[in-house]
Amino acid sequence: EAGVAQSPRYKIIEKRQSVAFWCNPISGHATLYWYQQILGQGPKLLIQFQNNGVVDDSQLPKDRFSAERLKGVDSTLKIQPAKLEDSAVYLCASSSSTGTSGIYPYEQYFGPGTRLTVT
Amino acid sequence: AQRVTQPEKLLSVFKGAPVELKCNYSYSGSPELFWYVQYSRQRLQLLLRHISRESIKGFTADLNKGETSFHLKKPFAQEEDSAMYYCALRPLSGFQKLVFGTGTRLLVSP
């Protein structure tokens, strides 16, 4: 099966500019995740969608970050305005379901990521 | 609070040597634990999970609830094992996210 697609792969912007990332999950996957991975750290979840609804956005800096998943398929993550500390790799992942305890379609499949540099 | 700690940023071993990548976690309930791996220029991918109790590419990991650890082990390292390894935790209730450690880079030299 085709993997999770992300674009662009690299982006360089100046602080206070805006930027948007796109993610196309694996076909049929209901759950989509956006992670931020700052250099030297592990991925940190920003937002999780179940179909087109948000189930967890507790770590999304809502004053500058926004995300949507229209029609429950593709998703975009936007930063406006960007700050220097937003420089990171933004990973998109998808899974077939959040499921319930003991059931495992949870495996998250990751995209290649978008490397954002804010100067 | 949920936290995953990987104390080593870099682990360097010679081919054929045993490997142990350490992972400790803090969580008040019963979590699921995973190891993810990222090879050079490849995507982050699941290596193994504690529930399945399998050996993948010669790696095993045992969940020790008493010590709250989930160390990854391999008796004989291969050069192709060189990669970035992340330990992750997922609480078993609700729509819960993966919480990742900071990762350990494993370098296997010939």
Interface contact A98, partner B, CB < 8 A: yes
Report domain extents, chain B.
3-109
- Quick check: A45 and B46 CB within 8 A? no
Q: Which of B51, B93, B98 is facing A108, going by the closest CB pair?
A: B98
Identify the pLDDT of residue A100. Answer: 45
Question: Which residues in A lie closer than 8 A to residue B9 (C-beta atoms)?
Answer: 40
- Quick check: B43 and A112 CB within 8 A? yes
The answer for residues whose C-beta is within 8 angstroms of residue B35's C-beta and 6 or more apart is: B21, B23, B46, B47, B48, B49, B59, B61, B70, B72, B85, B86, B87, B88
Identify the pLDDT of residue A101. Answer: 39
Q: What is the pLDDT of residues B1-60, one digit of tens each?
A: 789 999 999 999 999 999 999 999 998 877 889 999 999 999 999 999 887 778 889 999
Confidence of residue A1 (pLDDT cuts 50, 70, 90): low
**Mutation site for B-interface testing, chosen from A91, A107, A108, A115 by largest number of B Cβ within 10 Å:** A108
A5-98+109-118 to CATH, choices 3.60.20.10, 3.30.470.20, 3.40.50.720, 2.60.40.10: 2.60.40.10
CATH architecture, range B3-109: Sandwich (2.60)
Catalogue the E-assigned strands of A25-64: 31-37, 44-50, 53-56
Identify the pLDDT of residue B2. Answer: 85
Q: What is the pLDDT of residues B81-96, one digit of tens each?
A: 999 999 999 887 666 6
